[in-house]
Amino acid sequence: MRVGIRWRAPAAFAAVCAVLLTGCQGDQGQDRLGEQAATVSPTPVRPSGYGAVFLAVDECSSFGRTSFTEVSCQSERAAARVVARHDGTVRDGPRCPATTDFVLHISEQRPSFDEDGDGAVPRGYACMRNLQPPHPGDPGGGGGPRTIVGDCVYDLGDGKVRETACDGGGERKPEFEVTKAVDIRSDCPASTALYVRLGGTTPVGCARPV
């Protein structure tokens, strides 16, 4: 399925075949992407394997952040794996795992066939982890949707900071490193020079100069 483009699943093809071709039978073999074709039936057959639920946990996406396709994780087009999947928006929903590399935002779609048969793929988001390095979501990686212990930041002014790679390989050099996550500022060590908002159960990041 490609976000923003109509989804034509193998099961939808099976339904058309059942209507137009008397005697369409059984196993249609393998399609060009290596997916098992659906068996012909009087009613649409839900696809198996990847695609049964759009970008479910442990499924993979192709390259791209704004336009992407769900593909088999064994495909040469596979770029990242889903580590968590939630309906709704990032702002209102659960947080992605700490080492998530990036987030794919899924707009609401109404294809001719979908995972539960109600005619809609709900709005949601998928927390993604690259299949191969680099992993910007790792501590010190310089990216990812969350700032975690081990990450480095630089000061933007007005009380704002932005993450950058701790090894100095980013566009900006690191100025502070988050060394600890605590409940309140008073729990930070004496060496703390900057407090970083992390969110979650320990929302305060204690950062020291680097």
Q: Give the residue from 30, 33, 17 showing the smallest Cα distance to 69.
A: 33
CA distances (Å), origin 135, targets 128, 139, 143, 178, 199: 10, 9, 8, 18, 21
Given a contact cutoff of 8 angstroms between Cβ atoms, the answer to whether 80 and 73 are in contact is no
CA distances (Å), origin 10, targets 13, 48, 72: 5, 10, 14
Output the 3-class SS for 121-132.
ECCEEEEEEECC
Q: Is the pTM of this model over 0.85?
A: no
Q: What is the pLDDT along the chain (210 residues), one digit of tens a residue?
A: 444 433 344 444 344 343 333 444 444 444 433 333 333 333 333 343 455 678 899 999 998 877 788 999 999 999 999 999 999 999 889 999 999 999 998 876 544 334 444 445 678 999 999 999 999 999 999 999 999 999 999 999 888 999 999 999 999 999 999 999 999 999 999 999 999 999 889 999 999 999
Contacts of 100 (CB under 8 A, 6+ apart): 83, 84, 127, 128, 129, 137, 144, 145, 146
Contacts of 192 (CB under 8 A, 6+ apart): 179, 206, 207, 208
